[in-house]
Amino acid sequence: MRKQLFLAAMPALLLCSCSGSKVLPAESLHMDAATTRDYPSRFYDDHTRIRYDFRNDDQYLYVILETDNPTARMRMLREGVKIYFPPAGSKSETRFVEYPFHTGGGPAAGPQKPKASTRMDQQREMPEQPAGDRDYTFFYKQARFTNNGKTALLDPADNAPGTIHFKAANEPDGFFRYIVSIPKSQLMISKNRTIIGIRVPEMKRQGNTYPGHDEPSTRMSAGGRRGGHAGGGGMRGGGMHNRGAGAEGMNHNQEDAGGKIDWWYKITWNS
């Protein structure tokens, strides 16, 4: 089993160049507890401090983003993450989900459940939760689905079968994990492949400006297992922050987690 998973990850070794908005190949891993434990997210973007990966089972495709950087987490929650899944077998921005979705000047068209709320309203409704294991779906209560210009609000807490599911939570291991689970029935699958795009706006700095990084630089994350196991990299073994000797006390709140997030992949399903 582990040999098969390792071989599935091999094509991604080619992703050392800048990903930009090109559609690159990647193979999905099977979504199960053992894979999640032993094979954390394989792709890491140096500029944004975000790891990401793709998993699937018989019913869903899982788009996973994770970080232990507070600035990167804040960026995803404040600006919202857009996951594109085109209705055709080529790159397209006509269909996507956005979570969290923060309402702007006017209401979204189409069905609107739950009721639209402002970011201030969401902050007032925030239940008391320990920061170390906070589930942000209790805080950010809106997602938006867009298809050919028509939009509808989604309830992130809706876990009914056949619907798009959302997860945004701090895990006990210290990582913030963001997962969008898209039903297979809503995806365009051609020759066992699906186009997926990931986009996150940069947070504006003082003066309403952006950091202005160049193209994103994606590479394979170092190691497979979590810290304490063989491999030395992995989620907890030093790959996330490129730690060197004596760097354990670094202040991650002061790190720059800006950079372009515009990643597109043609995902091969793991059957």
Total number of domains constituting the chain: 1
Residue 80 to residue 147: CA distance in whole angstroms:
17
169: in domain: yes
**The domain containing residue 59 runs over which residues?**
2-106+113-238
On whether residue 269 sits in a domain, the answer given is no
Q: Residue 245: inside a domain, yes or no?
A: no
Q: What is the pLDDT of residues 26-80, one digit of tens each?
A: 999 999 887 777 778 999 998 899 999 999 999 999 999 999 999 999 999 999 9
Q: Is the pLDDT assigned to residue 98 strictly greater than 70? A: yes
Domain presence at residue 136: yes
The pLDDT value recorded for residue 54 is 97
Judged against a pLDDT cut of 80, whether residue 135 lies above it is answered with yes
Residue 175: closest CA among 271, 44, 61: 44
Residue 153 lies in a domain: yes
Rg (CA), the chain: 18
pLDDT greater at residue 144 or residue 212: 144
- Residue 267 within a domain: no
CA atoms within 13 A on the CB side of 39: 23
Please determine, for residue 149, whether its predicted confidence score (pLDDT) is greater than 90. Answer: yes
Interval 192-232: pLDDT, tens: 999 999 999 988 665 554 454 445 455 555 444 333 322 22
Structural domain contains residue 256? no
Q: How far apart are CA 96 and CA 19, in angstroms?
A: 20
Q: pTM of the prediction?
A: 0.72
Q: Specify whether the backbone of 210 is left (phi greater than 0), alpha (psi in -120 to 50) or beta.
A: beta
Residue 253 belongs to a domain: no
